[in-house]
Chain A
Amino acid sequence: MKVAWVLIFLFGGLLANAQYMEVSVDGMVTFDGVDFIINEAGEDYSPSVESESSVYVSIDFQSFWDALFNPNRKWKIEVAKEDLTWNNHVKLEIKRTEDGYGDWSNNKRKTRIKGGDNYQVVDRVSRDFFSGKGSAYFVPLQLKLSGISVTQGAQDFETNVILTIYDD
């Protein structure tokens, strides 16, 4: 009987702690000739270029039971980048432009997220981006490039922006 109680205690705790959120991203960002504009011959590019909000991040419970037993689970997202080929003169920044939706089905419930609404540098070191509670869907992200100059020449480079979710 003692053993049974211990097992109930352990698995009860496991169930309560098994909140495992998952993060997913839709879309990608490409900065190209449309973004790099020279207004007049003799000039350099604009000091910075912003992407359209064509990347959306969603945070969801991994299982129905997680959502049912702890809908207010706290989490935080960290951001970093892993360069494939990158120009080290160029700075990449990220922010979220809106809050997204708290409800997948009817998009009526507000999300409970905070932070991340100002540009912050994305580099190889993972840094806090934003945090929240429960699920959040279609949170739009925007990227900004600065430090690009005509003098660097024609070139292509790319990086992977990595978003990692942790229990907060």
Chain B
Amino acid sequence: MKHKGAFLVIIMLFSLTRFSLGIGENTEHKASVVIPDVALLSLQHDGNSNIELMGTSSSVAGSKIEMGGEATADIWLNYSSVCHKNQKRKVTATVVGEVPEGVIIKVKADNSVGTGKGELGKTNGTVVLSSNPSDVISGIGSCYTGSGVHNGHLLSYQLEIDEDMFYQASENKLASVHVVYTLTDDN
């Protein structure tokens, strides 16, 4: 009887051991993903990115000088923006160089077109450019506009005259300025 009991215990232990062999043993390693903030901006164009805005002299004595009106040079503003939830960005434009007295340069960015996706920025309409940054596009979240021409925001420029200033101070001369665009946090 004693032997029988011991025998049963041995068989049970043996069964348990065999059973445990069927259980897998595992190990693990961590895979982490860190997607950082990104703010990339570029201007895309076919050919030359220069824009020439010229005043036209009047053919009738006594009438005012007309400036070039609106000029679209097929310049497209592309950007890729990765930011945190609820964070927004904007595009500002700044004039670098000396704008003739009485001459007003304006820019308008159309709403984004093309292959872009995400929370694309909205145009602020026509804005006056100066040596201080002017908000051209705002409300940019995490998005991309698509790259190259016909993607993103098409830019167009206007020249206007502040007549009081212009006729007092302006000379007949060429003025060249740069317009610098910046993709920045909108706090």
Mark A residues whose CB is within 8 Å of B. Answer: 3, 6-7, 10-11, 13-14, 17-25, 27-33, 36, 38, 40-44, 51, 55, 57, 78, 81-82, 87, 90, 92, 143, 145, 148-167
User: B34 near A150 (CB under 8 angstroms)?
Assistant: no
Instruction: Tell me if B173 counts as interface (CB < 8 A to partner A).
Output: no
- Asked if B26 and A162 sit within 8 Å, CB to CB, the answer is yes
User: Interface segment, B55-63, B80-88, B101-109, B121-129?
Assistant: B80-88
| In the bound complex, CA of A167 to CA of B147 (Å) | 53
CA distance A111 to B36 in the complex (A): 40
A155 to B10 Cα, complex, angstroms: 56
B52 at interface (Cβ–Cβ under 8 A)? no
Binary CB contact string for chain B from 39 to 82 against chain A (1 if under 8 A, 0 otherwise) = 01110100000000000000000000000000000000011111
Which of the residues B11, B27, B35 comes within 8 Å of A24, measured between beta carbons?
Answer: B27
Contacting pair A151 B10 (CB below 8 A): no
Chain B interfacial positions (CB closer than 8 Å to A): 3, 7, 10-11, 14, 17-18, 21-22, 24-38, 40-42, 44, 78-85, 116-119, 141-148, 151-152
Please tell me if the beta carbons of B17 and A150 are within 8 angstroms of each other in the complex: no
A41 contact from B36, B78, B84, B118, Cβ within 8 A? B78
Distance in Å: Cβ of B78 to nearest Cβ of chain A: 3
Min CB distance A1 to B, Å, is: 12
Are B30 and A159 in contact, with the CB atoms below 8 A?
Answer: yes
Given A6-B7, A167-B22: A153 touches B141 (CB 8 Å cut-off):
yes
How far is A33 from B35 in the complex, measured between Cα atoms in Å?
A: 6
Task: Verify A44–B144 contact, CB threshold 8 A.
Answer: yes
